[in-house]
Structure 1
Amino acid sequence: MLKRFLPFAWLCFSLAVILSACEDDDPELGGVATVEDATFTYTPKADKPNVINFSSESSAFLKRWNFGNGATAEGDAPTASYPFKGTYEVTMTAYVGGGSYTTTQTIDIAQDDPTLLDLDQYNFLTGGVNDIDGKTWVMDKGTAGHMGIGPAAGTWPEWYSAPANAKEGLGMYDDSITFKLQGSQLIYHTNGDVYVNAAFGSAFAGAVKEPNGNDFIAPYAPAPQTWSLSESNGKWYLTIGNGGFIGYYSGRAPVYEILSITPDELYIRSIQEGEAGNAWYQRFIRKGFVRNPPPPPPYKIEDIYTDFDGAGNVTFTPNSNGSIASYDNPAPVPINTSAKVGKYVKAPGGGGAFSNVQIQLPYKMDLRERHVFKMKVFIPSYNDYTTEGGESWQTYKTLQRYASLKLQNRDEAEPFRTQTEVLHKDLPLNEWVELTFDFSSAAANETYNTIVIQLGGEGIYTGGIFFIDDLELLPAAQ
């Protein structure tokens, strides 16, 4: 696999060639690797001597490279670029069976070649060679989705997407990050504290838990750090050196995939090695950049319906480890003989305590004449309705035979505080029931743009499977 890297660093001059071994002698996995497995050569590009082509012809099943300039790669024939003169130690580790072997060679770059940095990614991130003070970025706090978690294969934090200004006062919005081209310098101004994922609060001395949440506000005043950019298979990556990070500390490795970058906006995500299924997303803007306010969404009402057999006009957005998908009807008998229904899954554990699925509308709902929904629900008996466990504030402690529809304004930092909910309790087991959700009490509200479906109750750690069908906003009463 060919990878092209365009990082840069400012290193001192020396000349050496070193071979070193790193052996893994696990006899259950295979024999010990040898120096021949990790032998490699390098050749400067004919018209660009600061661009080096590396090559290894060994039969090792995995070859990992570190180019000595902050960039890494895997494969048989990667390429690295060195914009500045200096001496760079390049290591390649070859993996054969249960063993590995590492060789190191030191390459000399004789002259600077700043043309290697005249790329949009470098210019946009730092301001370019003429901006000696670099460019400063801040969290794009006023935009929904400026931080959150979602699938690594996606482009959006669909599992949790922070509303605008949702994390005010938690040590993140007053931070700024300055990237300088000269010396690959990164200056992280934290104003004394940062916002830290719940799982890593103990790694920061003096961290305190945030109010009304599980994450932490932690003291942090980093020394000057370094950065590098690399490109692989058409994707660009930002690596923070010296054990640093930027923005929200999620515990992930300090390598961020750049989803998009412009002179004013930077959109990145981080994926923890070994956790390829999810990623943390973050949005930054150039300090001083002010967005033009978007036009207000229309205020209207339209048909809303789905039957999971193919007819429908809604898209469901999973939230808080809740999900829904078309599924074979578990009980195709009256009152619901449909072939397909919606299988709703509430994830177990604390991560699924607030599971739901949402219909996020591109308009504000006009509920004055149409405000009644109908939905069929099936509550299986095989769920666990007896095991206790949940949030301390919840009055019930077990999975419930509940079905809830909520109307929310997702533009707010905490949409649940102004929501309107219609809840049906103690539903029968193993039979379809048709429920009516009347929101006449919210008919005068002009802010709602999200329909939330929640089954099994809220704040409970027991997971469950439920089924829904034939969701519809009814016509206006005659």
Structure 2
Amino acid sequence: MKKYIYSFLSLVVLLGMTACTEDKPDVGPAPTSDDVTFTMQPTADNPNIIEFTNTTSGSIAYWSFGTGASAKGDQVSAEYAVKGDYEVSLMVVTKGGQATSTQTITIANTDYALLNRADYNFLTGGADSLNGKGWKFDKMTTGHMGIGDPAESTPNWWAANALDKDGRGAYDDLMRFNLNGFKYDLTNNGDTYAKNYERDFFTSRGGTLISEDDDDTWAITFDDQSNWNWSISERDGKSYLQFSGDGFPSWQVGGSQEYEIQTLNEDELYLRTIGGDGNAWYLGFIREGYERPVVPPTPKPYESNDLFDTFMGSSSDVLNLVSDAGLAFTDNFEFNASPASPSQFVGKYERVSGDNPWQNLQSELPFRIDLTSRAVFKMKAYLPSTNDYSGDLAQTVVVKLHDSLQGGNSWQTQEQVVHTITQTDTWVELTFDFSAVSSRTDFDKIIIQIGGEGHQVPGTFYISDFRLEQ
């Protein structure tokens, strides 16, 4: 009897083990380059336009045409304006893996009609411009350099003001694009501005670091630019400018040498790329010799008005201060100072770690503030003890008044009142008295800054009821 029981139990265990064995899908063997096949055929209308067909069964096709252009799909086409040999690569992805095959295509003659296109002509000056076309940084325009969230398409973290990077080795550079041979040249006058994570690029090319207080400036010459070329390709409805060799557009931010063209016309070239740090970087240029027309600002009236922001997201708030330079700010945040205290809706002011040390709240007004009869601002602030104040994060609350006409240099004529808060975990009402500068008539911008500046230390604070006293 025991023998039958043991046999039955063994059978149960065996069946259980069999039932628990994971069923692995049959994905098939990984493909090799020999498995990747494709055909290429000139179109009936133009031998410089080639149609490609993926003949690899059960695969997704990714093409690289040897011109900087690429595409996805089983049937695609590409233009080859200039005669020569081009290496065409097809990478296929199957259930078993991926593989690549390459073929060479020879274009017998140059088709000048394919070169006569608007983007080429804007960039290079066209076939009649024997020396190509020069471009320089649009240094007097806000946003000629910038950084932003890689998921966004604007420099929402920082945008350079006019001459923000003067003396760093960028503004005297001249880029030149030529249609003849798709040649690209960079005249850097002996120095180049770069992000500090690109040091290996410059040291490996004989560069000498001459400044590192604001990213890096390198003493370097690029004597051999013989393999520096450019190309333009289209993908998913966007145009991209690619650089080959060691080429880059004046400011070295790293990445793939591929730049999305956001603006290209006779006078402007604005680019976006994902840099070597994974962030989105923005570069803006104007053609050599171009000067933007100067539009005089519309004068603002000089007025004494109610100014307040409850930070509750109310449409009646006059100021509606907004975050700048990477600050994370939340209106109408439900806050409890302690479990026993009632909830209140306030502004949550979060300094975040990142590239910008000047995080703040600000509001530009449609008038200039008359301080002669009302010059005292008040607000409430709450500084949690959970922040780390042992380093650069300061226990300070600052209100600044600026003149927006000064642009990026408005800090030079600012007035500010600074409070150092010694109490934490409690609401403190603060007074900011600007009576000493009540004769000034140029202020039209209000800035609130908490936690200091010039650092990237994170910290969370709460504010409420900002107002200009009666």
Structure 2 length-normalised TM: 0.81
Do the aligned partners of residues 69 and 461 (structure 1) sit closer, same or farther apart at CA in structure 2, a change above 3 Å counting? Answer: closer
SS in 1 for 2:122: helix
Partner of 2:15: none
Q: 1:377 aligns with which of 378, 381, 384?
A: 381
| Separation in structure 2 between the aligned mates of residue 136 and residue 91 of structure 1, nearest angstrom | 33
Q: 1:250 aligns with which of 249, 253, 258?
A: 253
Partner of 2:420: 425
Do the aligned partners of residues 92 and 403 (structure 1) sit closer, same or farther apart at CA in structure 2, a change above 3 Å counting? Answer: same
Look up the equivalent residue of 1:45 and give its one-letter code.
T
SS in 2 for 1:251: coil
SS in 2 for 1:84: coil
Contact 2:157 2:356 in 1 (8 A): no
Report how many residues are paired.
Answer: 431
2:401 aligned with 1:400: no
| Separation in structure 1 between the aligned mates of residue 314 and residue 351 of structure 2, nearest angstrom | 23
Partner of 1:175: 173
What does 1:30-45 align with in structure 2 at a 5 Å threshold?
32-35=30-33, 38-45=36-43
Contact 2:313 2:332 in 1 (8 A): no
Partner of 1:14: none
Partner of 1:145: 143
Contact 2:169 2:217 in 1 (8 A): no
Q: 1:451 aligns with which of 446, 450, 465?
A: 446
Partner of 2:65: 67
Do the aligned partners of residues 98 and 250 (structure 1) sit closer, same or farther apart at CA in structure 2, a change above 3 Å counting? Answer: farther
| Separation in structure 1 between the aligned mates of residue 61 and residue 176 of structure 2, nearest angstrom | 34
Deviations 1:198-228 (A, max 9, x none): 2223532443353753432332325242101
Look up the equivalent residue of 1:254 and give its one-letter code.
Q
2:322 aligned with 1:316: yes
Look up the equivalent residue of 2:324 and give its one-letter code.
P
2:347 aligned with 1:342: yes
Q: 1:441 aligns with which of 418, 436, 439?
A: 436
- Bigger relative contact order, structure 1 or 2 (CA pairs below 8 A, ≥6 apart): 1
Partner of 2:188: 190
Deviations 1:9-33 (A, max 9, x none): xxxxxxxxxxxxxxxxxxxx99533
Q: Which structure is larger by alpha-carbon Rg, 1 or 2?
A: 2
SS in 2 for 1:200: helix
Do the aligned partners of residues 379 and 95 (structure 1) sit closer, same or farther apart at CA in structure 2, a change above 3 Å counting? Answer: same
Superposition CA RMSD, Å: 3.1
Partner of 2:270: 267
Gaps of 5+ in 1: 1-28, 391-398
| Separation in structure 1 between the aligned mates of residue 126 and residue 65 of structure 2, nearest angstrom | 23
SS in 2 for 1:123: helix
Contact 1:299 1:446 in 2 (8 A): no
Do the aligned partners of residues 171 and 72 (structure 1) sit closer, same or farther apart at CA in structure 2, a change above 3 Å counting? Answer: same
SS in 2 for 1:158: coil
Do the aligned partners of residues 211 and 40 (structure 1) sit closer, same or farther apart at CA in structure 2, a change above 3 Å counting? Answer: closer
Structure 1 length-normalised TM: 0.80
Do the aligned partners of residues 355 and 77 (structure 1) sit closer, same or farther apart at CA in structure 2, a change above 3 Å counting? Answer: farther
Contact 1:309 1:339 in 2 (8 A): no
SS in 1 for 2:113: helix
Partner of 1:162: 160
| Separation in structure 1 between the aligned mates of residue 221 and residue 446 of structure 2, nearest angstrom | 39
Do the aligned partners of residues 472 and 113 (structure 1) sit closer, same or farther apart at CA in structure 2, a change above 3 Å counting? Answer: farther
Partner of 1:19: none
